[in-house]
A and B are shown apart, each in its own frame.
Chain A
Amino acid sequence: MNQKNVYELFPDPIFHYKLENYKQINKELLNYILELQKKDKKGNNRSNKGGWHSPNFDLVNPGPPINFINSFKDFLKHLIEDEFGWEYVPNKQRIVAMWAIINKKNSYNVRHNHQNCYLSSAYYIKKPENSGDITFHDPKEAKTYRFPEVEKHTSYSTQSTTIKPKEGDLLIFPSYLYHDVGINLSDEERVVVSFNIDIGY
């Protein structure tokens, strides 16, 4: 047989991390988010269709958002230094924005990416069954604009990948990566927190 090797070049990485103390963190964050919603029922209009998109969290004063950040900051440092091989300079990697989205029944998020940052994230606070999963889309237009008829999807021909996270899961991915969230078909609310990380030197 002819020897075969496949070099899998230039992948788009999704990091899937489970917070250790997620139950406590989720309780605190959920209260914080519901308080925000009381004060700003309209919220923002971004990728959310039908759902409520919060204003940005307070990342200056102590509170649930800062506790949440502290719970994954070692992981984030490891990811930047070891997985990406980027230079880690304390105070130069900044969480530039953090917000929540509550998708009630029939809400979803249209395809979007996150501009002017390097890494983005989705953290799951409430994730009932059938409440909508996240789908990532291949960023290579040259590949996805014109392609042969696909008979069987493989990791090379696929153009989108859906991930089904659970409560307490933290996904971190490159900000350029387009994604969307499926319709919430459950009767319960789906609550996520998102944030963007930028690095300046």
Chain B
Amino acid sequence: MKNYQIYKLFPTPVFHFKLENYQELNTELENYILNLRKKDEKGQRKSNTGGWHSHNFDLTNDNTAKKFAKIFEEFYKKVIINEMGWKYDSNKVKMEGMWSIINKKGSFNIQHNHPNAYLSSAYYVRHPEKSGSIKFFDPREQKNIRYPIIKNYTNISAVITEITPKEGDLLIFPSYLYHSVGENLSEDDRIIVSFNVDIDY
């Protein structure tokens, strides 16, 4: 039966990029992150449960951190201009915080979103098999609090979407979108970099 059309309005986009030359970048990032951890073993407690969450990278004085930020800028700039259609003024668009999380075996991240930003991101430096996928949650409460019995989840009735990224993948998504990261069931560390982008006028 296909005598009808469907308009799928107001989707929540998750932009998935693959970085060229990511191996080289990931080696640099990993060294940088492990070095940060040496100096700050406690890190901070946010959505991380069991894992290590760095403090924000120093994007004002640290040239290496600034270089990383520059690499990601190309991608969020594209998203802002081409995909979201937002006005891009380089003086007003700011990376507001960039940090890393290392999830060792048994670690995970509880459901959270990123306040006071428009776009957020996850970049995968190390992502061993079974080290925890990212799950995104439907932001519409009115749909999720009451619904009919679901026999087959479809793109329309889905409440959660899980994405299993690979090393070198960059995900950019709206900051209001709640997400969580599954438990790391592998023996190896899972290492990611996150950042927020805000725009003021």
Binding site for B on A (CB under 8 A): 2-18, 74-75, 78, 80-87, 118, 136, 138-140, 142-143, 147-159, 161, 163, 174, 176, 199, 201
Contact = CB atoms under 8 A, between A and B. Distances in A.
A6 B14 contact: yes
Given A2-B18, A148-B201, A83 B154 contact: yes
A199 B6 contact: no
A2 B75 contact: yes
Given A10-B138, A199-B148, A150 B7 contact: no
Contact of B143 (A136, A143, A148, A174): A174
B174 A143 contact: yes
B149 A16 contact: no
30 contacts: A2-B17, A7-B163, A9-B12, A9-B158, A10-B138, A10-B139, A10-B140, A12-B10, A12-B140, A14-B7, A15-B6, A16-B4, A75-B1, A80-B148, A83-B154, A84-B154, A84-B156, A86-B147, A140-B10, A140-B139, A143-B12, A149-B87, A150-B86, A156-B11, A156-B85, A157-B86, A161-B9, A176-B140, A199-B148, A201-B148
Nearest to A172: B4
Contacts of B39: none
B14 A7 contact: yes
A27 to B, nearest CB: 22
Contacts of B136: 9
B16 A4 contact: yes
B161 A9 contact: yes
A157 B17 CA distance: 20
A16 B156 contact: no
Interface residues of B, number: 52
Contacts of A75: 1, 3-4
B157 A86 contact: yes
Contacts of B5: 15-16
Given A149-B86, A154-B85, 8 more contacts: A5-B16, A10-B12, A18-B4, A138-B10, A148-B86, A150-B87, A151-B85, A201-B149
A14 B6 contact: yes
Contacts of A8: 8, 11-13
Contacts of A158: 10
A152 B87 CA distance: 8
Contacts of A142: 139, 176
B15 interface: yes
